[in-house]
Amino acid sequence: MDQAKIRPIPEPSLRRLPAYLFYLRRMLAGGRDVISCPHIARDLHLDPTLVRKDLEATGMIGKPKVGYPIPQLVGTIEEFLGLHNTRDAFLVGAGHLGAALIGYEGFREIGLNVVAAFDADPAKVGGQLRGISVLPMDKLIELAQRMAVHIGIVTVPAAAAQSVADAMVTGGIRAIWNFAPTHLRVPESVVLEEVQLSSSLAVLSSRLNKMLAPE
């Protein structure tokens, strides 16, 4: 089972996999062994054809009129998401957003483990963020190298974000998850995933304007 490396999955399908995984684990915990596409689609408010396509992209084929064996389907999705190796992460910016992410449901469930937080504010350094130690920024590079941490989470203000990312890259971090409201520049050898909340809000606001316009 090494499909993740040989078979590319479309990004929209990939983005839906965690929702399937959380759902299927709940079904399994509830004692269910087999589940059909229309059943999954109904419970998750998705189109059944879309669900079939998503699951087929992982290499799983359901049996007609029967469905998917849940334990295998869970294993295949976990494989795809790389959950066999839990990954350690550093979080920089020990504020509310950092605290929210450390406590986010499904965060550990999907294999991410925040091992240390960093902050430039001396008042925060030495304290804890939901049980995680807050360390000074000048320890970031050395610790990332020593602990071979591969994932860095950026939850600092926009103005500080690029210099934090630069330090992460210097420390050998290979994937940056950016929540600061600015785009970052990283070398090609580093994965960058940005969550731009303002963009999401722009879409919401623009759709709402259209919805309210005819009234």
Q: Which residues bind its own copies (CB under 8 A)?
A: 4-5, 9, 11, 14-19, 22, 44-46, 80-82, 87, 95-97, 99-101, 103-107, 110-112, 130, 150-151, 157-158, 174-175, 177, 180-185, 189, 191, 193, 195-213
| Residue 66 vs 100, nearer CB to its own copies | 100
Minimum separation from the CB atom of position 45 to its own copies (A): 5
Burial class of 198 by CB neighbour count within 10 A (0 to 12, 13 to 18, 19+)? exposed
DSSP 182: S
Question: Are residues 177 and 193 in contact, defined by beta-carbon separation less than 8 angstroms?
Answer: yes
| Residue 63 vs 108, nearer CB to its own copies | 108
Minimum separation from the CB atom of position 37 to its own copies (A): 16
| Residue 154 vs 167, nearer CB to its own copies | 154
Minimum separation from the CB atom of position 201 to its own copies (A): 6
Count CA atoms closer than 13 A to 19's CA, side-chain side: 14
| Residue 65 vs 188, nearer CB to its own copies | 188
Minimum separation from the CB atom of position 82 to its own copies (A): 4
Q: Which of 148, 187, 141, 181 is nearest to 164 (CA)?
A: 141
| Residue 65 vs 211, nearer CB to its own copies | 211
Minimum separation from the CB atom of position 64 to its own copies (A): 26
| Residue 2 vs 65, nearer CB to its own copies | 2
Question: Are residues 161 and 186 in contact, defined by beta-carbon separation less than 8 angstroms?
Answer: no
Cα(111)–Cα(122) distance, integer angstroms: 30
Minimum separation from the CB atom of position 84 to its own copies (A): 10
- Could you count the other beta carbons within 10 Å of the beta carbon of residue 184? 19
Q: Which of 114, 120, 118 is nearest to 149 (CA)?
A: 114
Question: What is the SS3 assignment for 142?
Answer: helix
CA distances from 175 to 114, 134, 148, 149, 168 (A): 14, 21, 12, 10, 9
